[in-house]
Structure 1
């Protein structure tokens, strides 16, 4: 389909005199990040940050069509993107995670449909957060076939077996999975349901796609009806085991080896040509970390799959790489490095590059007074990184024993593109990094990202990056399905007293030269 034929003058944005081309080998942050990055260039990709150009929100008090608290975005994907009469429009496909209460809700994985309009703001005066106008439309639960029964997934932690929490497993689509006993739908019979903590989503034009999981490090393939048709499991080194060599998908007690608790497949994306699937752990595996020294869990594993043609149904592993995450001071006071800025989402830009969202755990929704230290979008290039597929993939194998990367293994290059704490950007829309938090404080969990072209110009390299938060369902009266299949009140879920954690949408304008014309998606004029 042709691009819109409407030449529009490019708005006056930031002046850019230079941008870094060589990344720091080990980014560290002891006090709040005050950088004002103008962009980065790695490999054959150049990204220029043109600034924050819009914000919008949906009330965190909303419920979805199933009567459960709507939540916000662990994953985000935009469809129906269009431009007409000076305004952009589209549909947010919003992926919440496993529900309220860290594995204590019988919450079926689902996609929310949220229609929106977007009018970017390029001025400098302070304006209301109305550039993104969002309206909830519908929700669809993921299903899967288990024998003769069509089931929903559950957000519940896998069952305890023999006194071992989370030990219950079974087989589904030829993979070992974690199972929990709960009602399969409202007031339904008790069933063995797949424990699934959805974190990232990709949609193809036909409505099918992939959704990643944090319990078991699965990538689920689903059809246009959102029925799961297959599971791709990461190599044994990434799979959670407790005790050694025993799969256990618990999220309460730390595994002996494999993905860390609540640090599974947080980032997943498909390259613009549809040929490759990237899947990135949120941080390093247990065996790639030096015990309790959280600053050493910064060597995250990236897995690359061939999904071209028939491989879309059964992805084939073709690569594995190390991405080095920023190291931070968890107290934000300069006392010393004791944490890692785990990543929350990625967007593929080409066969060996992507955007990544590493962040701290401070801000609105945390309920503490620790200052916000670091939330960033980085450019990652792994063209010159070592492909370690098959070398450190057995259960318990480490590529960075005691947190030290094996000699000869080269990590991907990274460079900061957006500092979300940039004060001028935030202040223009009435946002802040104030602690204790108020309703306009930057959210703790910034997790969803989606990239779309600027259709108002024929320039092929102009884009909008939408970024959304996971609000942990923090409303004043949380409604969730319980194990018996009844929607019940879980009480006040707000960790910042009296402040509802809304679903937020932030929009940055970027210029991206990726060296490939195919990156700008085909679009048609809106009617």
Structure 2
């Protein structure tokens, strides 16, 4: 049975979830600039701020939004499967925005930098440092260099001291930046980052382009929680059988202690693209597919949902954190076990309750493919934001304009405010 609920008036009420339903009160687009225009007329826009969104710790009408690695499109090139980066010099960045009187203005942007203060790129990492097997190509199809500090940034936490934590899809990395965007620490499964601390080794089995998509921090700013976008290829793509199991990892910032929990998606190969803490044990999570409202066939959207999850009864499935496959049961990894097998072993996923289905609760179904940003605004509203992919998509070997099937408009970062009825 599906339970449909609405957002209550306070964060405290959000944790208890009174029975009401969401409606969209208003929407507004984020400002953008044209980075470049390709010879086929495609505008590459900056833009691109929807990979994550989080509240400003002090100002209720301000929010931060994050770009990913930069404009890119799928490409099967002579050196292997990868991505075309039409603007490879692009630096991933954090934008600070103000929402007031139905309008959004950009206050400033913070470019991400390595420990020496050099702007980083969004290009893939070298082997052994977060390499996913993706080859980076320039627009002329030549092969680009790797970047040891490159980041495909997807999750964002804003701290009270002005700094940030960012999670990504390469390593996956969790990176601590100061208020100027300077890297202070980089945590990954390999121990190759600044400071050398590690995530559990099993996370190196992340699927390319589906790494640590969401990042949250507890209200006391002591523990980070990262959620993987999709099922780990653990031990390999060919051998996994449970394709709707994703992992959540916690990281105690002071001690480095980690815990792991599993999350059951509604269908195979969906995406968990954001997580926001309500308290130490309860979170809001986005679960979505890659389709569009008005899309055809496999591109038809079915899942654009926000769930409240609870860790209270969930099993810590950490096992040996140094093992490349993590916890095994009867010789199987968790990704090789059915939900019934897991239950038989007493392994429980996080509990989840549907908060909002944006394909049903909005006056017109949510038109974007990538629902990725989630902001608890002024304690009584939720806001969501899409990743517009810098307004570009791929068609064969070409980069083209990204257009929404529902209304034939160019995709653009759009903030939707959800309020109680």
Please say whether Structure 1 and Structure 2 have the same fold, judged by a TM-score greater than 0.5.
yes
Query: What residue number does 2:77 align with?
Result: none
Query: What residue number does 1:223 align with?
Result: 178
Query: What residue number does 1:387 align with?
Result: 316
Query: What residue number does 1:473 align with?
Result: 390
Gap change, CA 1:369 and 1:79, over 3 Å in 2: same
2:118 alignment partner, SS class: strand
TM-score (norm 2): 0.76
Q: How does 1:58-207 map to 2 (within 5 A)?
A: 58=29, 62-63=33-34, 69-79=46-56, 90-102=61-73, 103-105=83-85, 106=88, 107-118=90-101, 132-145=102-115, 149-158=116-125, 168-169=126-127, 176-178=129-131, 192-207=147-162
Q: Which one of the candidate residues 401, 411, 417 is aligned to 1:493?
A: 401
Gap change, CA 1:39 and 1:453, over 3 Å in 2: closer
2:336 alignment partner, SS class: helix
**Consecutive unaligned residues in structure 1, runs of 5 or more:** 1-23, 28-34, 83-88, 119-131, 159-167, 171-175, 184-189, 240-257, 328-338, 434-440, 455-462, 477-489, 512-527
Q: Higher relative CO (CA 8 A, sep ≥ 6), structure 1 or 2? A: 1
Work out the CA distance in 2 between the residues paired with 1:503 and 1:221. 25
Q: Is the 8 A contact 2:368 2:404 kept in 1?
A: no
Which digits, 9 at most, give the CA deviation of each residue in 1:231-257, with x for residues without a partner? 112211111xxxxxxxxxxxxxxxxxx
| Bigger mean CA offset, 101-110 vs 53-62 | 53-62
1:264 deviates by: 0.7
Work out the CA distance in 2 between the residues paired with 1:369 and 1:387. 35
Gap change, CA 1:143 and 1:392, over 3 Å in 2: closer
Which digits, 9 at most, give the CA deviation of each residue in 1:287-308, with x for residues without a partner? 27884888x322211111223x
Work out the CA distance in 2 between the residues paired with 1:365 and 1:304. 37
1:135 deviates by: 1.7
Q: Which one of the candidate residues 377, 381, 404 is aligned to 1:452?
A: 377
Larger radius of gyration between Structure 1 and Structure 2: 1
Q: Is the 8 A contact 2:23 2:420 kept in 1?
A: no
Work out the CA distance in 1 between the residues paired with 2:383 and 2:202. 33
Q: How does 1:8-407 map to 2 (within 5 A)?
A: 36-38=4-6, 45-48=15-18, 49-58=20-29, 62-63=33-34, 69-79=46-56, 90-102=61-73, 103-105=83-85, 106=88, 107-118=90-101, 132-145=102-115, 149-158=116-125, 168-169=126-127, 176-178=129-131, 192-233=147-188, 234-239=199-204, 258-287=205-234, 291=238, 296-307=242-253, 311=254, 316-327=256-267, 339-363=268-292, 370-391=299-320, 394-397=323-326, 399-405=333-339, 406=342, 407=345
RMSD over equivalenced CA pairs, Å = 3.5
Work out the CA distance in 2 between the residues paired with 1:231 and 1:95. 18
Gap change, CA 1:197 and 1:412, over 3 Å in 2: same
1:64 deviates by: 7.2
1:345 alignment partner, SS class: strand
Work out the CA distance in 2 between the residues paired with 1:196 and 1:273. 27
1:368 deviates by: 6.5
Which digits, 9 at most, give the CA deviation of each residue in 1:180-230, with x for residues without a partner? 9999xxxxxx88442210001111122112000111111001112111111
Query: What residue number does 1:524 align with?
Result: none
Which digits, 9 at most, give the CA deviation of each residue in 1:451-480, with x for residues without a partner? 1334xxxxxxxx21111000111169xxxx
Work out the CA distance in 1 between the residues paired with 2:295 and 2:69. 18
1:81 deviates by: 6.1
Work out the CA distance in 1 between the residues paired with 2:325 and 2:48. 35
Q: Is the 8 A contact 2:155 2:215 kept in 1?
A: yes
Q: Does 1:504 align with 2:414?
A: yes
Query: What residue number does 1:3 align with?
Result: none
Work out the CA distance in 1 between the residues paired with 2:200 and 2:302. 33
Q: Is the 8 A contact 1:97 1:199 kept in 2?
A: yes
Work out the CA distance in 1 between the residues paired with 2:306 and 2:282. 13
Work out the CA distance in 2 between the residues paired with 1:97 and 1:81. 25
TM-score (norm 1): 0.61
1:361 alignment partner, SS class: coil
Work out the CA distance in 1 between the residues paired with 2:230 and 2:321. 16
Q: Is the 8 A contact 2:206 2:233 kept in 1?
A: yes
Gap change, CA 1:152 and 1:409, over 3 Å in 2: same
Q: Is the 8 A contact 1:113 1:138 kept in 2?
A: yes
Query: What residue number does 1:410 align with?
Result: 348
1:491 deviates by: 6.0
